[in-house]
């Protein structure tokens, strides 16, 4: 039981790290530009698809990863220049509508290019093994690599935001964009930079997860909603909040799904327990979100709504 | 509401009323199927416009109420209760409860937060029904028969179902108009324009916004009951967040805060889908492009476009 718990905790951590990679960029986009981007999950999906194509093409995991990152970055910048830039000053409703339309377009476009059947990505041989943790328990190396890569990316992002001039501007932009602009900072370039950063992080997450998931057109959407929950819990604009929220959501979701039915069995009949558990488990993160909001409407690290 | 909008609404209703005879004349029952779906979605869009257009509450989780209405039909039918009145009442009651709880939490927030939270609650309902294996889970469940109307099985006839749907749409349209015109509606519009000022006038916006949200959810469940009857099939796909997005699309396409626009938007959006699907299986690509282009170049939707052309 303890072993299972440890295993699921690691799985939860891995999910949390992935969510963080996607949420970090998105929370900055929300916070700094006051722009609601539903299409962020699309970049995650594109990252995975590009990974599948480029690893198959070049035969190398590393080169595939780099090319996929570059592709996601290019797409992100193109979308920013062509569409998003015109929407910053628009009402949220317009932003919702346009980015919703964009999801439909890109998802359908991906279906046309890559087909509807899911793709698989080969794992590099070096990482396709497992290591012993405690006792008989083993854990796949690749998942550990994901956790490490995500944490490293988080660390790099922290360094960027807390200790560089650009990071200072990002923080300033998240708290008062107009003032930042008045102080002579080129806000438009900052916006493009935030988008590039967000697109790359989301693409990175998609490329990383490609070998352990089947790559399909639904992957962006399932993760997008969880990312929203993460951002709401953490507070819009707060990367720190996104980190905490992501780990919280990842762990709660994973543990809830595996232990919900087991815990319920103590108070119910087994059949009813497994049914109730299966129904309740996916709802857990939303209940968590509701609880956080009931106490702090602007999220854990969020400022009160302006 | 302007006189022009009222005229448009009456013209729309007259056109709707003519669909069954025309469909019979053309010998194409598929028209009636589409028309019934359009009318049902028009009810949902109308409900959404009530809070989105008049209360500035961008709910991205309204598909949940479609599902609650639809599942009310499925669950009660299984239990042997087939009367549509009971189905409507149950759908509305459950929706009121769900809207009251999720609305009370969501309305603590604004702007982007509100959009994301309603989306999240909508997904919560979606996943709950996906995991309910007794009701078919992800695959959904077929209805043994359509709801009965006062004990008779007239709704098995598509024409009857259509006219019932149309009657409900007309009734709810009048209801929504009455709400908007009432003191309650004026307060709601006031909170949209300036919540702080309403508070200064001694009115607590929260109660008004929550009430409007609950009414809107309950109205949407009526559409769910009709959709379940039309398809004789219920599945969580009805509650997917894409549906919520489509409802917003309808409201915005038709022009927000007009009520008539919501109905027109439902007509345009669904016909556009059907029409594009004739040409290509990849119609979503074109549909998405239309959305992006409308937002970029025709803010205000069709209503706004018509307005500008008139000037």
- pLDDT at position A173, please? 81
**Of the candidates B117, B131, B248, which has its C-beta nearest A97's C-beta?**
B248
**Residue B257: which region, alpha, beta or left (left: phi > 0; alpha: psi -120 to 50)?**
left
CB A249 within 8 A of CB A230: yes
- pLDDT at position A102, please? 92
C-alpha to C-alpha distance for A144 and A9, rounded to whole angstroms: 12
A286 touches chain B (CB under 8 A): yes
| Model confidence at A127: pLDDT above 90 | no
- pLDDT at position B304, please? 66
Top residue of A29, A111, A225 to mutate, by most chain B CBs within 10 Å, is A225
| Confidence class for position B42, pLDDT limits 50, 70, 90 | very high
The partner residues of B40 in beta bridges, in order of sequence, read none
Q: Do A111 and B128 touch (CB under 8 A)?
A: no
A188 touches chain B (CB under 8 A): no
Handedness of CA A4, A5, A8, A10 (dihedral sign): negative
Q: Do B282 and A305 touch (CB under 8 A)?
A: no
The partner residues of B60 in beta bridges, in order of sequence, read none
**Of the candidates A96, A107, A225, which has its C-beta nearest B123's C-beta?**
A225
Q: Do A93 and B248 touch (CB under 8 A)?
A: yes
Q: Which residues of B touch A90 (CB under 8 A)?
A: 295, 299
Cα dihedral A10/A12/A16/A19 (nearest 10): 130
- pLDDT at position B185, please? 87
C-alpha to C-alpha distance for B217 and B223, rounded to whole angstroms: 10
Nearby residues of A9 by Cβ (< 8 Å), 6 or more positions away = A251, A254, A255
| Confidence class for position B307, pLDDT limits 50, 70, 90 | low
A113 touches chain B (CB under 8 A): no
Measure A128 CA to nearest chain B CA, in Å: 32
CB A25 within 8 A of CB A42: no
Rg (Cα) of chain A, in Å, rounded? 20
For the segment A31-50, the average pLDDT, to the nearest whole number, is: 89
User: Residue B65: which of B48, B52, B79, B82 has the closest Cα?
Assistant: B48
- pLDDT at position A244, please? 92
- pLDDT at position B227, please? 93
| Model confidence at B156: pLDDT above 80 | no
Nearby residues of A301 by Cβ (< 8 Å), 6 or more positions away = A234, A235, A238, A240, A241, A244
- For A142-170, give one letter per residue: b (16+ CB within 10 A) or e: bbbbbbebbeebbeebeeebeeeeebebb
- pLDDT at position B213, please? 95
| Confidence class for position A306, pLDDT limits 50, 70, 90 | very low
C-alpha to C-alpha distance for B88 and B188, rounded to whole angstroms: 26
- pLDDT at position B306, please? 65
Q: Which residues of B touch A29 (CB under 8 A)?
A: none
**DSSP 8-state assignment for residue B149:** B
Residues 238-277 of A with CB under 8 A from B: 275
ipTM, two decimals, is 0.84
A189 touches chain B (CB under 8 A): no
**Residue B49: which region, alpha, beta or left (left: phi > 0; alpha: psi -120 to 50)?**
alpha
- pLDDT at position A272, please? 74
**pLDDT tens for each residue of B209-242:** 999 999 999 999 999 999 999 888 888 888 988 8
Q: Do B284 and A86 touch (CB under 8 A)?
A: no
Percent of chain A's residues with pLDDT above 90: 23
| Confidence class for position A284, pLDDT limits 50, 70, 90 | confident
- pLDDT at position A305, please? 46
CB B227 within 8 A of CB B235: no
Q: Do A104 and B285 touch (CB under 8 A)?
A: yes
C-alpha to C-alpha distance for B230 and B36, rounded to whole angstroms: 7
B91-96's contacts with Cβ under 8 Å and 24+ in sequence apart are B91/B221, B91/B222, B91/B224, B91/B225, B92/B218, B92/B221, B92/B222, B94/B68, B94/B221, B95/B65, B95/B68, B95/B69, B95/B217, B95/B218, B95/B220, B95/B221, B96/B214, B96/B217, B96/B218
Q: Which residues of A touch B292 (CB under 8 A)?
A: 83, 98, 101-102, 105
Nearby residues of B183 by Cβ (< 8 Å), 6 or more positions away = none
Which among A21-30, A222-231, B40-49, B258-267 has the top mean pLDDT? Answer: B40-49
C-alpha to C-alpha distance for B93 and A280, rounded to whole angstroms: 22
A278 touches chain B (CB under 8 A): yes
Mean pLDDT of chain B: 86
Q: Chain B residue closest to A294 (CA)?
A: B105
| Confidence class for position B4, pLDDT limits 50, 70, 90 | confident
**pLDDT tens for each residue of B72-92:** 999 988 888 888 888 999 999
Measure A286 CA to nearest chain B CA, in Å: 6
B98 touches chain A (CB under 8 A): no
Measure A228 CA to nearest chain B CA, in Å: 6
């Amino acid at each position: 039981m303890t072993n299972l718990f440890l295993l699921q905790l690691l799985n939860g951590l891995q999910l949390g790290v992935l969510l963080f990679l996607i949420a970090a960029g998105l929370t900055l986009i929300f916070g700094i530009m006051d722009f609601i981007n539903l299409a962020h999950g699309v970049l995650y999906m594109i990252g995975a698809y590009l990974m599948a194509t480029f690893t198959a093409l070049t035969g190398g995991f590393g080169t595939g990863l780099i090319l996929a990152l570059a592709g996601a970055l290019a797409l992100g910048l193109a979308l920013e220049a062509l569409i998003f830039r015109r929407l910053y000053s628009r009402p949220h409703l317009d932003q919702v509508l346009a980015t919703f339309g964009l999801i439909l377009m890109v998802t359908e476009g991906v279906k046309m290019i890559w087909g509807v059947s899911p793709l698989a990505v080969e794992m590099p041989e070096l990482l396709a093994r497992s290591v012993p943790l405690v006792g008989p328990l083993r854990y796949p190396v690749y998942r550990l690599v994901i956790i490490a890569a995500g944490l490293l990316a988080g660390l790099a992002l922290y360094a960027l935001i807390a200790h560089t001039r650009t990071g200072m501007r990002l923080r300033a932009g998240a708290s008062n964009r107009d003032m930042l602009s008045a102080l002579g900072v080129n806000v438009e370039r900052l916006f493009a930079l935030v988008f590039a950063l967000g697109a790359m992080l989301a693409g990175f997450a998609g490329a990383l997860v490609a070998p352990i998931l089947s790559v399909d057109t639904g992957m962006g959407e399932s993760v997008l909603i969880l990312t929203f929950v993460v951002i709401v819990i953490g507070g819009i604009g707060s990367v720190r909040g996104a980190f905490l929220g992501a780990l919280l959501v990842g762990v709660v979701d994973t543990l809830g799904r595996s232990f919900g039915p087991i815990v319920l069995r103590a108070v119910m009949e087994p059949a009813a327990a497994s049914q109730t558990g299966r129904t309740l488990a996916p709802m857990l993160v939303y209940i968590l979100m509701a609880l956080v909001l009931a106490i702090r409407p602007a999220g854990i690290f969020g400022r009160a709504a302006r | 509401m302007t006189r022009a909008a009222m005229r448009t609404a009456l013209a729309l209703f007259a056109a709707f009323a003519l669909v069954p005879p025309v469909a019979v004349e053309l010998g194409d029952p598929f028209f009636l199927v589409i028309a019934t779906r359009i009318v049902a979605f028009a009810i949902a869009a109308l409900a959404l416009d009530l809070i989105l257009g008049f209360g500035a509450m961008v709910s991205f989780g309204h598909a949940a109420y479609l599902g609650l209405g639809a599942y009310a039909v499925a669950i009660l039918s299984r239990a042997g209760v087939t009367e549509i009145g009971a189905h409507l009442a149950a759908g509305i009651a459950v929706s009121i409860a769900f809207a009251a709880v999720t609305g009370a939490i969501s309305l603590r927030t604004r702007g982007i937060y509100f959009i994301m939270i309603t989306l999240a609650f909508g997904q919560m309902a979606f996943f709950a029904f996906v995991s309910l294996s007794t009701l078919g889970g992800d695959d959904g469940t077929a209805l043994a028969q359509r709801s009965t109307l006062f004990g008779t099985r007239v709704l098995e006839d598509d024409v009857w179902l259509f006219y019932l749907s149309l009657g409900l749409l007309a009734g709810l349209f009048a209801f929504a108009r009455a709400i908007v015109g009432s003191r309650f509606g004026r307060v709601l519009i006031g909170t949209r324009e300036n919540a702080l000022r309403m508070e200064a006038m001694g009115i607590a916006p929260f109660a008004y916004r929550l009430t409007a949200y609950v009414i809107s959810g309950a109205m949407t469940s009526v559409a769910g009951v009709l959709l379940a009857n039309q398809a004789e099939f219920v599945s969580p796909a009805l509650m997917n967040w894409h549906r919520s997005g489509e409802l917003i699309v309808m409201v915005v396409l038709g022009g927000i805060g007009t009520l008539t626009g919501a109905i027109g938007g439902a007509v345009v959006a669904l016909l556009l889908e059907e029409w594009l699907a004739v040409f290509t299986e990849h119609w979503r690509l074109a549909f998405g492009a239309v959305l992006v282009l409308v937002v970029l170049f025709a803010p205000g939707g069709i209503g706004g476009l018509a307005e500008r052309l008139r000037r």
